[in-house]
């Protein structure tokens, strides 16, 4: 079964410096029908104005992943980590017992466009940690590249949950397939472009909950398509 979450139905928060679209309930946007999907709790598509950003704030007991689509996102946290996240990078922050951080648009001239993803960890009270790795576009082209996993397989960043995140860059007519073992489900998020997921059409900003399927075939219907696929318990 495939259930589509259309882009225009997402929650919206527009503060001038930030335009954010929420796939699931977040902040002032509350929809009891869309509280997450399994341990996948948040997918926010954020656009931050040049020179603006999120002041220092805290998190606990959450796996937080940032995936930059355009521009550069600057990060600083209470662990002493400071970095700039660019397209192709995947950043993960395990908030655990508590972490404080800030996120700013690194550029004074251009906006930054990124996805922020929250995954509920498999246990509370973990030691806070940070990691960031680059996954070049050619590693994602025409295939599903594992970028986050519980065991760091294939050089992916580690998350504390039995979940795997894949990224794919596809051109028209290209297809990527993931086999789903019994009892697993998945979420597909279209970052840009358009695809057919087991024949169901999705476009930029759309997401789809997939359950009861033995495999997921993602076929691009436009050039330059970029998709995230979550394999979930």
Predicted confidence band at 59 (pLDDT cuts at 50, 70, 90)?
A: confident
**Superfamily, domain 2-232:** Jelly Rolls (2.60.120.10)
Strand partners, 209: 3, 187
What is the percent of the chain where pLDDT is above 70?
A: 100
Average pLDDT, integer, range 118-123: 97
Distance CA 21, CA 156 (A): 27
pLDDT at 217 over 90: yes
pLDDT at 202 over 90: yes
**Cα–Cα distances in angstroms (integers) from residue 187 to residues 54, 190, 232, in the given order:** 27, 10, 8
Helix segments in 45-177, DSSP class H: 137-140
pLDDT at 104 over 90: no
In this structure, the number of other CB atoms found within 10 A of the CB of residue 17 comes to 15
What is the percent of the chain where pLDDT is above 90?
A: 88
pLDDT at 86 over 80: yes
Distance CA 66, CA 140 (A): 17
């Amino acid at each position: 079964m495939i259930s589509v979450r259309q882009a225009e139905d997402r929650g919206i928060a527009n503060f001038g410096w930030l335009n954010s679209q929420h796939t699931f309930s977040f902040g002032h946007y509350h929809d009891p029908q869309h509280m997450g999907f399994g341990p996948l709790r948040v997918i926010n598509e954020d656009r931050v104005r040049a020179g603006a950003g999120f002041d220092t704030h805290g998190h606990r007991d959450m796996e937080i992943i940032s995936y930059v689509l355009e521009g550069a996102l600057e990060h600083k946290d209470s662990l002493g980590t400071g970095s700039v996240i660019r397209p192709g990078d995947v950043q993960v922050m395990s908030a655990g017992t508590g972490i404080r951080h800030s996120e700013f648009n690194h550029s004074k001239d251009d906006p930054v466009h990124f996805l922020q993803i929250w995954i509920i960890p498999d246990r509370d009270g973990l030691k806070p940690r940070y990691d960031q790795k680059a996954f070049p576009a050619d590693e994602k082209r025409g295939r599903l590249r594992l970028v986050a996993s519980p065991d760091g397989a294939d050089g992916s960043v580690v998350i504390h949950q039995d979940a795997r995140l894949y990224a794919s860059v596809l051109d028209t007519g290209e297809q990527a397939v993931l086999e789903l073992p019994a009892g697993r489900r998945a979420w597909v998020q279209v970052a840009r472009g358009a695809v057919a997921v087991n024949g169901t059409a999705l476009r930029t900003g759309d997401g789809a909950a997939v359950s009861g399927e033995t495999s997921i075939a993602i076929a691009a219907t436009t050039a330059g398509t970029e998709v995230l696929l979550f394999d979930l318990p």
